Amino acid sequence: MGQGGGPRRAQAHDEELGRAVAAAQAGDEAAFAVAYRLVQPGLVGYLRGLVGTDGETAEDVAAEAWLEIARDLGRFHGGGAGFRGWTATIARHRAFDHLRRLKARPRPAPLEQDLLELPGPHSTSAAALEAISTERVLALVAALPRDQAEAVLLRVIVGLDAPAAARVLGKRPGAVRTAAHRGLRTLSARLRPHGGPGGRG
């Protein structure tokens, strides 16, 4: 799967993504396919965190989102980073529509291991997540409060910065930074071996 996931990887592709989006808006179908390839893995990872463990469901919601994205592409203004935030907002709305239909609440879900290329350059708590299994991710993320889980998904899986994630969530950037920091700190603490020097916990 390999084209999305993780802030550094997503941000490294922002220039290419911005060019592809501009070309797609001018009618270049191949460029739209490039934009899709760059955005889709992170988007599906985020949706799995919202709609649950069924990969087909996340893919179905993503397909609904892409129909809307394609329809409204001419209305989008911005570069690659803005496009990732815009698509995440649309996908989030489609996910909540899906959950309302099911009368269910969003819940974190296991994330594909190849989407967990997590850390920012100075984020040791995020780096600690790289080696854990999908099953462990489910257990850890599911235990977070929903605001923290979604902030972690947007920052780490979709690769959005705090202001972009805040726009998706309708919150202030500081609140998103705090939620993501608390979530990652909690996950990091749960990954440490119990006990430490001096005994078992």
Do 34 and 20 touch, CB atoms closer than 8 A? Answer: yes
How far, in Å, are 9, 37, 42, 65 from residue 30 at the CA level?
A: 22, 11, 20, 19
Q: What is the distance between the alpha carbons of residues 164 and 151, in angstroms, rounded to a whole number?
A: 11
> What pLDDT score does 124 carry?
46
- The predicted model scores a pTM of 0.73
pLDDT of residue 105: 56
User: pLDDT at position 5, please?
Assistant: 47
CB 85 within 8 A of CB 37: no
Closest CA to 186 of 143, 122, 136, 138: 143
**pLDDT value for 4:** 44
pLDDT at position 3: 41
Q: Along the chain (201 residues), what's the average pLDDT of each consecutive run of 10 residues?
A: 49 86 95 95 87 77 95 95 96 92 61 41 48 55 83 86 93 93 86 52 41
- Residue 108: strand, helix, or coil: coil
